[in-house]
Structure 1
Amino acid sequence: MKQTIEQLADVELTENMLKIAKRELREDKCSREQSLEQMRNWVLKHEDLRNVRLDDQFLLRFLRCKKFSVPMAQQTLLKYLNVRRTFPHMSTQLDFLDQKLNDIISSGYIFASPNRDKHGRRVVVINAKGFNPKIYNSSDQARAHFLTYECLMEDQATQICGLVHVGDFSGVTTTHVTNWNPTEFARVFKWSEQSLPLRHKEIHLVNVPATLKWLIDFVKGRVSSKIRNRLTLYTQDKELAKHVDPACLPQELGGQMPLKAIVELWKAELLAKRETILNLDKIALLSDRGILRKSNYSSEKSSNGMNFVSQIESIEGSFRKLEFD
Structure 2
Amino acid sequence: MAEENDVIDTGSPKETQEGGGFPLAPPPIYTCTLTPDLVAKAREELQEKPEWRLRDVQALRDMVLKDQPNLRTRLDDAFLLRFLRARKFDYDRALQLLLNYHMSRRAWPEVFHDLRPSTIKHVLDRGFLTVLPHPDPHGRYILCIRPGKWKPNDYPFVDNIRAIYLTLEKLIQAEETQVNGVVILADYSGVGLSHASSIGPLLAKKIVGILQDGFPIRIKAVNIINEPRIFKGIFAIIKPFLKEKMAERFILHGSDLNSLHRNIPSSVLPEEYGGASGHFDASLWSKTLLDAEVEFVVEFCQPDPLEGVVLPDSMLFEGEQGTTQCEDTYRGLRSQLYYCY
**Paired residues of 1:75 and 1:292 also in contact (CA < 8 A):** no
**Paired residues of 1:174 and 1:323 also in contact (CA < 8 A):** no
Alignment match, 2:250: 231
Which residue identity is paired with 1:148?
Answer: T
**Alignment of structure 1 residues 1-325 onto 2, 5 Å:** 4=6, 6=8, 11=14, 12-45=33-66, 46-50=68-72, 52-98=73-119, 101-238=120-257, 239-258=259-278, 260-261=280-281, 263-281=282-300, 282=302, 284-286=305-307, 289-291=310-312, 293=314, 309-315=326-332, 317-318=334-335, 321=338, 324=341
In structure 1, runs of 5+ residues without a counterpart are 302-306
Provide the secondary structure at the position in 2 that maps to 1:71. Answer: helix
Q: Which has the higher helix share?
A: 1
**Paired residues of 1:124 and 1:164 also in contact (CA < 8 A):** yes
Q: What is the CA–CA distance in structure 2 between the aligned matches of 1:91 and 1:248, rounded to whole Å?
A: 32
Provide the secondary structure at the position in 2 that maps to 1:154. Answer: coil
**Paired residues of 1:39 and 1:70 also in contact (CA < 8 A):** yes
Do the aligned partners of residues 288 and 145 (structure 1) sit closer, same or farther apart at CA in structure 2, a change above 3 Å counting? farther
Q: What is the CA–CA distance in structure 1 between the aligned matches of 2:48 and 2:213, rounded to whole Å?
A: 22
Which residue identity is paired with 2:269?
Answer: L
Provide the secondary structure at the position in 2 that maps to 1:167. Answer: strand
Q: What is the CA–CA distance in structure 2 between the aligned matches of 1:276 and 1:322, rounded to whole Å?
A: 46
Q: What is the CA–CA distance in structure 1 between the aligned matches of 2:10 and 2:59, rounded to whole Å?
A: 21
**Paired residues of 1:186 and 1:312 also in contact (CA < 8 A):** no
Provide the secondary structure at the position in 1 that maps to 2:134. Answer: strand
Provide the secondary structure at the position in 2 that maps to 1:284. Answer: coil
Which residue identity is paired with 1:315?
Answer: G
Q: What is the CA–CA distance in structure 1 between the aligned matches of 2:95 and 2:244, rounded to whole Å?
A: 23
Q: What is the CA–CA distance in structure 2 between the aligned matches of 1:237 and 1:276, rounded to whole Å?
A: 40
Q: TM-score, normalised by structure 1?
A: 0.85
Higher alpha-carbon deviation: 202-211 or 273-282: 273-282
Question: How many residues get paired?
Answer: 314
Q: What is the CA–CA distance in structure 1 between the aligned matches of 2:319 and 2:94, rounded to whole Å?
A: 24
Q: TM-score, normalised by structure 2?
A: 0.82
Q: What is the CA–CA distance in structure 2 between the aligned matches of 1:102 and 1:173, rounded to whole Å?
A: 24
Alignment match, 1:304: none
Do the aligned partners of residues 287 and 274 (structure 1) sit closer, same or farther apart at CA in structure 2, a change above 3 Å counting? same
Cα shift readout 1:245-265 (whole Å, capped 9, x = no counterpart) = 22332221222234543x122
**Paired residues of 1:128 and 1:168 also in contact (CA < 8 A):** yes
Aligned sequence identity (%): 27
**Paired residues of 1:165 and 1:202 also in contact (CA < 8 A):** yes
Higher alpha-carbon deviation: 5-14 or 200-209: 5-14
Do the aligned partners of residues 291 and 112 (structure 1) sit closer, same or farther apart at CA in structure 2, a change above 3 Å counting? farther
Do the aligned partners of residues 91 and 3 (structure 1) sit closer, same or farther apart at CA in structure 2, a change above 3 Å counting? farther
In structure 2, runs of 5+ residues without a counterpart are 15-32
Deviation (angstroms), 1:150: 1.2
Provide the secondary structure at the position in 2 that maps to 1:290. Answer: coil
Deviation (angstroms), 1:102: 1.0
Q: What is the CA–CA distance in structure 2 between the aligned matches of 1:321 and 1:88, rounded to whole Å?
A: 31
RMSD of the alignment, in Å? Answer: 3.0
Which residue identity is paired with 2:271?
Answer: Q
Provide the secondary structure at the position in 1 that maps to 2:241. Answer: coil
Q: What is the CA–CA distance in structure 2 between the aligned matches of 1:112 and 1:8, rounded to whole Å?
A: 27
Cα shift readout 1:126-156 (whole Å, capped 9, x = no counterpart) = 1123222220112212111111111112121
Q: What is the CA–CA distance in structure 1 between the aligned matches of 2:270 and 2:231, rounded to whole Å?
A: 24
Provide the secondary structure at the position in 1 that maps to 2:69. Answer: coil
Q: What is the CA–CA distance in structure 2 between the aligned matches of 1:80 and 1:215, rounded to whole Å?
A: 26
**Paired residues of 2:201 and 2:237 also in contact (CA < 8 A):** no
Do the aligned partners of residues 43 and 5 (structure 1) sit closer, same or farther apart at CA in structure 2, a change above 3 Å counting? farther
Provide the secondary structure at the position in 2 that maps to 1:159. Answer: helix
Provide the secondary structure at the position in 2 that maps to 1:233. Answer: strand
**Paired residues of 2:115 and 2:162 also in contact (CA < 8 A):** yes
